């Protein structure tokens, strides 16, 4: 490859990564909880994280659900955020939005009873999780 071919490749890969990042941000904006639910999701995050850990360890749930939950825990453990924290509103809320989106899928696939059985928080908190999951 010539020098200009390498630059073309580098520019193409960079453009693809930027477009993918923009698409992910748009997807997060679309699936974010509406109104006061985002604030509620942030408040419930510690209980929801315990819930995710408990659900991921439950071998009675479908394997696909457990895999999604483990991938979510890996994403949350990685210090690099999809949206940097300096971006207003979404910067700090990206984890809550992603947890909410995954939790919606888990509830739809595993059922509300599984989530209820593993919920570590209060009944009010569980009612908020049900609202966040769109049930």
User: Contact, 94 vs 82, CB < 8 A?
Assistant: yes
Q: How confident is the model at residue 33 (pLDDT cuts 50, 70, 90)?
A: low
What is the DSSP code (8-state) at residue 87?
Answer: S
Q: Is the pLDDT of residue 70 over 90?
A: yes
Place of tokens 């939790």: 103
Q: How confident is the model at residue 58 (pLDDT cuts 50, 70, 90)?
A: very high
Domain ranges, ordered by start, for the chain:
32-132
Structure pTM?
Answer: 0.65
């Amino acid at each position: 490859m010539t020098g200009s071919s390498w630059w073309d490749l580098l520019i193409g890969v960079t453009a693809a990564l930027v477009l993918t990042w923009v698409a992910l941000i748009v997807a997060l904006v679309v699936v974010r909880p509406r109104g006061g639910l985002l604030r509620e999701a942030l408040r419930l995050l510690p209980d929801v994280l315990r819930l995710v850990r408990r659900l991921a360890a439950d071998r009675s749930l479908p394997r696909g659900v457990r895999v999604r939950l483990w991938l979510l825990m890996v994403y949350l453990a990685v210090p690099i955020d999809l949206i940097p924290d300096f971006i207003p509103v979404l910067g700090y809320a990206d984890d809550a939005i992603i947890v909410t989106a995954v939790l919606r899928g888990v509830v739809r696939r595993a059922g509300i009873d599984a989530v209820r059985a593993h919920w570590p928080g209060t009944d009010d908190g569980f009612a908020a999780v049900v609202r966040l999951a769109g049930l």
